[in-house]
Chains A and B, each alone.
Chain A
Amino acid sequence: MTTDLDRTPTPRVPGAEEFARAQASPEFQDLRNRLRRFVFPMTALFLVWYLAYVLLGAYAHDFMATRLFGNINVGLVLGLAQFLTTFAITAAYVRFANRELDPRAAALRADLEGARA
C-alpha cells in the first residue's frame, strides 16, 4: 500500500510560467549565485591541488622522497594532506549548504508548491 494518511498531500507541481517567474526572482538568483560562488572556486581549488600532487608524484621523485622526520617523507605528508583537505572541504561545504543554501531553497520551494494559480 502506498497511501499516506498521516502525511501532507502531495504538493502540486507548478506550471511553466511559475517556474519562469521563480527563476527570474531575486531570491532564486541569489541562491544560484551563492551556490556557484562556493562550488566553482572550490572545485577548481581541489582539482588543481590534486593535479599538482599527482604531477609531483610522477615527476618529482627526489622531492617527494625528502625525509622530514624518521622515515616520514614529503610524499607521505602531502598524501595525507590530500585526505585532510578532502575532509575539510567536505565539512566546509556541509556547513555552507546547511546555513546558506537549505533555508533559501526551502523558502523558494514552499512558495512554488504552495502557490495557488
Chain B
Amino acid sequence: MSTSVLAAGTVGNPVANIAIFALFVAVTMVVVIRASRNNSTASDYFTGGRGFSGPQNGIAIAGDYLSAASFLGIAGAIAVYGYDGFLYSIGFLVAWLVALLLVAEMLRNTGKFTMADVLSFRLRERPVRTAAALSTLTVSLFYLLAQMAGAGGLVALLLDIDSRAGQSLVIAVVGVLMIVYVLVGGMKGTTWVQIIKAVLLITGAAVMTVIVLAKFSFDISGLLGSAQEMISGSTNEIVANRDVLAPGAQYGGSETSKLNFLSLGLALVLGTAGLPHVLMRFYTVPTAREARRSVVWAIALIGAFYLFTLVLGYGAAAIVGPDRILAAAGGQNSAAPLLAFELGGVLLLGIISAVAFATILAVVAGLTITASASFAHDIYASVLKRGKADEQAQVRVSRITAVVIGVLAIGLGILANGQNIAFLVALAFAVAAAANLPTIVYSLFWKRFNTTGALWSMYGGLISTIVLIVFSPAVSGNKTAMLPNLDFDWFPLSNPGIVSIPLAFVLGIAGTLLGGGRPEDPEKAVEMEVRSLTGVGAEKAVAH
C-alpha cells in the first residue's frame, strides 16, 4: 500500500484511515450503550434527561455545529481563496451572540422538546406547530443532504474508493451507524458522540495549528507572506492572480457576487439561532443559567476553532500549495487532510480523516433526532392525535421516523453523491433565518404578536426562500449549477437571504396587524413572559 501522495489525488494509507475511524466508532458505541441504560422516559430520549452540564452541552453544541463543511470547507476556502474563506467563519461565530442574548435562556424556560413548543406557547397550537415542524423538517433535510453528499467526496479522498458502488456502500454504512446511534442512544447518546467528536476535532486542529506556527517560528506575517507567494506561483493563472490576504478573491468579481456575499453574510449571522438542531440542544441542560453557560462554552470553542482554521488554511496554501490541493480528489476540501499528511504523516492524516468522518456522523445524528422529535412531538402528537398521544407513543413514533429519515438520507445521499449541492448548507441557514428566527424573536419579545403574524412570517419566509433558490443560478443556468443543462435562473443571487429574511420580518408585523394587532390569549401571553424571564414552571431535569 502506497503511503505517499499519489498524482491521482489520494493521500496516506486508507487502511490506517479506516482503522482509526473504526476505533472511533467502537469507542463511541460503547459510550452510547452505557449512556442509554437510563433511557426510560420521553424526556430521557428527547433531551438526555436534561442532565447535561453547561460545559458538556457547550462542547456538544460545538460538535454539532462544526460540520465537515466548516472544517474541510473553510480551511480549503482559505487555502485557495484566502481572506474570503475567513469572512465565512466570522458570520458563523458572531451568529452565536443572537442565540446568547435573545434566544437560549428564554427558550429553555418556556419549551419542552422542540422549537415549536416555544412558538406555539401562546398562539393557536395546531397551525403554528404544523408550520414550525414543516420548517424544522425542511432545514434538517437540506442540512442532512449536504452532509451525506459530502461524505461521498470524502470517501474518494481518504479511503481511496473511486467506484460509485464503493462510495455508495460507505454512505450507507455512515447512515446505518447514525440510525443505530439515534435509536440506541437517543439524545443522550447523540450528545456524547458530539462531545467526543468535538474534543477530537478541536484538539486535532489545535495541534496542527501549533505545528504550522512552529514551522514559521510563530511569525504570522511570514506565514501569510509564504501563502501569498505559493498562490502567486501557481501554474493556474486565475489562482496566481489572487490576492489571498485581502477580500475579493471569491466574491469580489461583479456587483452581483458582492450582493450575493452580503446576502450570505446575513443568512449566516441570523440563521444559527433559528437552526432547530441547535435550539433543541438547549433543552438538554437543567436550567436557563446552564443554557447560558452552554453558549459561552460554544462561543469559546467555536471561536478558537475558526482561528485555528485561519492558520490551517493559510498553512495549507504555504506548505502544500494551491496546485496540489486543486489537483487532489476532493479539490479544495482536501486542503486540511493534505496539510495533516505533510505535517504528521500517515498517523495524523488518519486521525484527521477519522475526525472528518466522525463529524459527518455526529452532525447527521443530531439532525436526525431533531427532525424525528419534531415529527413525533409536533405533527403526530399535537396535530394528528390532538394532544392525546402519550410520551411513550411519541418516543416510538420518533424512533420509526428516525429510521425513515436515515434510509431517506442514505438514498438521497447516494443519488446526490458528486452533485454540486454545497449551496444546501447556506440554504438551510437562509431558511432558518427567514422562517424561524422572526417568529422566535417576536413571540419572545413582542406582546401583540399573534397567530396570523406567525403563519405569514413562517410560511412567507419558507416559501420565498425556496422559490428564490429554485430560480437562482445555484440550481440552473450555468456549468456549476445543480441542473447545468436547464435554464430558469431569473433570480440573480444564489443566496436568497437578503430578500427573504427582511420579507419574513415584515410579514410577521403585517400579519399581526391585519390579524387584529393583539394576542388571542392574553393570559397565556402574560404567563409566557413571566416564565421566560424567571424560569417558573420550567421543565425539570430527570433525576435517576
Contact = CB atoms under 8 A, between A and B. Distances in A.
B535 A105 contact: yes
B544 A75 contact: no
A65 B225 contact: no
B252 A61 contact: yes
Interface stretch (B258-266, B276-284, B455-463, B503-511): B258-266
A112 B535 CA distance: 10
Contact of B527 (A19, A56, A89): A19
B492 to A, nearest CB: 15
Interface in B507-544: 523, 526-527, 529-531, 533-537, 540, 542-544
Contacts of B248: 61
B437 to A, nearest CB: 12
Contacts of A47: 269
Interface string A83-110: 1001101100110010000100100110
A83 B41 contact: no
A86 B93 contact: yes
B212 to A, nearest CB: 15
Interface in B71-98: 83-84, 86-87, 90-91, 93-94, 96-98
B7 interface: no
Interface residues of B, number: 62
Interface stretch (B231-239, B299-307, B328-336): B299-307
Given A13-B537, A58-B258, A65-B245, A87 B303 contact: yes
B265 A2 contact: no
Q: By CB atoms of chain B within 10 A, which of A39, A50, A57, A97 has the most?
A: A57
B520 to A, nearest CB: 15
Contacts of B295: 90
Interface magnitude class on chain A:
35 or more
Given A70-B221, A71-B221, A82 B93 contact: yes
A117 interface: no
A100 B299 CA distance: 22
Contact of A86 (B94, B251, B265, B445): B94
A23 B530 contact: yes
A20 B523 contact: yes
Contacts of B98: 43
A76 B101 contact: no
A116 to B, nearest CB: 15
B224 interface: yes
B90 A83 contact: yes
Interface in B344-391: none
Interface string A1-31: 1111001001001101001101100001001
A82 to B, nearest CB: 5
Contacts of A42: 97, 101
Contacts of A70: 221-222, 224-225
Contact of A1 (B265, B535, B544): B544
Nearest to B247: A57
Contact of A71 (B94, B225, B259, B533): B225
A113 B299 CA distance: 33
Contacts of B243: 65
A71 B97 contact: no
Nearest to B249: A61
B100 interface: yes
B523 A55 contact: no
A11 to B, nearest CB: 8
Contact of A58 (B90, B225, B261): B261
Contacts of A57: 83-84, 87, 247, 261
Contacts of A72: 220-221, 224
B538 to A, nearest CB: 9
Contacts of B526: 16, 19-20, 23
A43 B101 contact: yes
Contacts of B221: 69-72
Contacts of A87: 299-300, 303
A82 B90 contact: yes
Interface of A: 1-4, 7, 10, 13-14, 16, 19-20, 22-23, 28, 31-32, 35-36, 39, 42-43, 46-47, 50-51, 53-59, 61, 64-65, 69-73, 75-76, 79, 82-83, 86-87, 89-90, 93-94, 97, 102, 105, 108-109, 112-113
Given A71-B245, A86-B299, 10 more contacts: A13-B537, A16-B523, A16-B526, A31-B533, A39-B102, A65-B246, A79-B83, A86-B96, A90-B96, A113-B536
29 contacts: A1-B544, A2-B41, A2-B543, A3-B543, A7-B543, A14-B537, A16-B527, A43-B98, A46-B97, A50-B90, A50-B91, A50-B94, A54-B87, A57-B84, A58-B252, A58-B258, A61-B248, A73-B245, A75-B83, A82-B93, A86-B303, A87-B300, A89-B97, A90-B96, A90-B295, A108-B534, A109-B534, A109-B536, A112-B530
Interface of B: 40-41, 83-84, 86-87, 90-91, 93-94, 96-98, 100-102, 105, 220-222, 224-225, 228, 243, 245-248, 251-252, 258-259, 261-262, 265-266, 269, 289, 292, 295-296, 299-300, 303, 306-307, 445, 523, 526-527, 529-531, 533-537, 540, 542-544
The 10 residue pairs across chains A and B that have the minimum distance between CB atoms: A70-B221, A65-B246, A4-B543, A71-B224, A54-B265, A57-B247, A58-B258, A61-B248, A39-B101, A19-B527
